[in-house]
Structure formats: structure tokens, C-alpha cells
Amino acid sequence: MSQQGERVKVAVLDDYQGVALTLADWSALHGRAEVTVFRDHLADQEAVVARLRPFDVLCVMRERTPLPRAVVERLDRLRLIVSTGPRNASIDVAAADARGIVVRHTGSAEAGAMELTWALILAAIRHIPAEAAAMRDGGWQHTIGGDLKGRTLGVIGLGKIGAAMARVAIAFEMQVLAWSPNLTPERAEAAGARYATKEALLAGSDIVTLHLVLSDRSRGVIGAGDLARMKPGAWIVNTSRGPLIDEAALIEALRSRRIAGAALDVYDVEPLPAGHALRTLPNVVLAPHIGFVTENAYRVFYRDTVGAVVAWLDGRDG
């Protein structure tokens, strides 16, 4: 805990939009804790350690600031980590446990990622970013959009989000193929999809969308050979985690027009560096990892964050 006589020091990290203190009631901490909000992101590990050393509690936003062992072991005052969302693979929980640091998670609102995925798909096939930019420059109708009706959506990962993607695709009168390492034909059929091998899904889909949890097994699940199997006119969409796709192979496929394009919300390195190749390619629709960034989700995140800190202060947790 903090030094005797001192209030507990709480750091809220990576509040990009500056809304942490307005989307939840933090009054339960008044007089008990000193809350500091950081809106900027630090990528350098030494800078992260220097910033966070004075704090007893860290409130982290998803995986924006990783807390590996090399960081956790140098934060001598740290006693509680509260992460938004139900899981956070970027926290070394074993290192925290070894130091007696409590790690807690918040609830979430699950619709945002699925809704953003469809927003990216529609923006991509209807060329909305290009048309919007042209209109701002005085132009009018430069492209011809694609259709969803009658096309095939390939869903890689048929969990909650993937199954929701399938339901919307059916409403658009699309065909749905699905694959994941443990998916069965029966589970696919129950979600309104048809089971396919990964190879058949890639070859037969007009849009391929990824909805897998990142793990050692799923990392690089889409590589150069997989991209080569896709239709030349197909799009690949990733709103899950950047490393699911071999980034170098994807950039080459986009540059060579081996596929029509990509719609992305996630990247190997985040924030995406300013000079990154993906920012320069005309056949890419980009979003800055905002699938989970909705008002409802943030209200749940910060409400539960406050609750977790209060429970810890009251001795009801940890």
C-alpha cells in the first residue's frame, strides 16, 4: 500500500479521448485516493516505468500499455492493476502474483467490434473514404461500388462476434462460410453458416473477416500462402488483433493488387507509426483500433474500474 499517511495514488492510462472522469462517478474515491489521468501513450518501456513508479494502482485500457514482467517488477509501490475488458494478454499475471499485486478486469459491451466491422466492410466495398475525400475536393462520383447481396462472407472464428457477423450477413442475403481450428459443421450450421476448410473459405469468399483470439496458435493464421488463395477481387477485414495476419505478406499482396484490399482496425504495432506502409496504400481502409471504443463500452469500463478500486480499498478484494 502507499506510504503511511499518504493517499493511495491511482493512474488512469491511455485515456485518448479524455473521458475517463466524465463517463463514470469517481466520487467514491474522493478523500481516499489521488487520481491522475494520462491521455498520451508511452511506447518506450523505460519511460513507462519512470512514469508509473509513484503509483499504487494502475487502471489500464485494454492492451494499450503492456505490463510485462520487466515493467511489473520495477514498480515497487504497485498493488492493484485494473484492466478494462474481460481479458488482457499484455499483463504478466504471473509476475504480478509473485509480487502480491492484485489483477482485476471489468465487464464490457460487446456490440462495438461487430458493428465497426460492418462499417469497415461497407466503407471498403462502396469506396466511401475515396468518395468522401473527392467530394471535399469538389468532385462527384469517381468509383463504382460493390454489392453484398449474393456475395460470400468468410468468417474465421465463429465465437460471439463471428456468429453475430454471420447473422448480419444473412440479413444482407449473403452466403456465409466459417472456419476456425475447433469449429464443427454442426456449430457452423447453428450459426447460419456453412463449415469450410480454411483453404476453401479463402478461395470461395468475397470478404474474409477475422474474429479469433490472438494466441501462439492463431498468430500468423493468415500468411502469404493464404492470401494467395483469395480471389483477386476479395477483401480481407481484421478488427481482432493485428498479428493474426502476416503484416509483411499483407502489404505485398496489397501492393501487387493480389487482392482487392484490406479494411483494418488493428495492427502489429499500436498506435500505427506515422510513416507505416499501410498508411500509404490506396486499397486499404484504416481505423485506429476503435472497435471497442463506444460510449456504452466506456461507461461499463470506467464504472467497473471505480468499483474494483473501491473494493480493493475496502479490503473486499485481494
Q: What is the pLDDT of residues 240-258, one digit of tens each?
A: 999 999 999 999 999 999 9
DSSP three-state, residue 262: strand
As a whole number, mean pLDDT of residues 153-158 equals: 98
As a whole number, mean pLDDT of residues 140-168 equals: 97
In this prediction, residue 5 has a pLDDT band, given cuts at 50, 70 and 90, of low
Set of cell numbers at residue 260: 482487392
As a whole number, mean pLDDT of residues 16-41 equals: 97
Average pLDDT, the chain: 96
As a whole number, mean pLDDT of residues 60-89 equals: 96
Q: Which residues are catalytic?
A: 241, 270, 289
| Number of neighbouring beta carbons within 10 Å of residue 139 | 11
For the chain, which domains are there?
A: 8-109+295-313 (3.40.50.720), 111-286 (3.40.50.720)
Distances (CA, A) of 280 to 48, 218, 244, 274: 30, 27, 21, 10
Set of cell numbers at residue 156: 474465421
pLDDT greater than 80 at residue 4: no
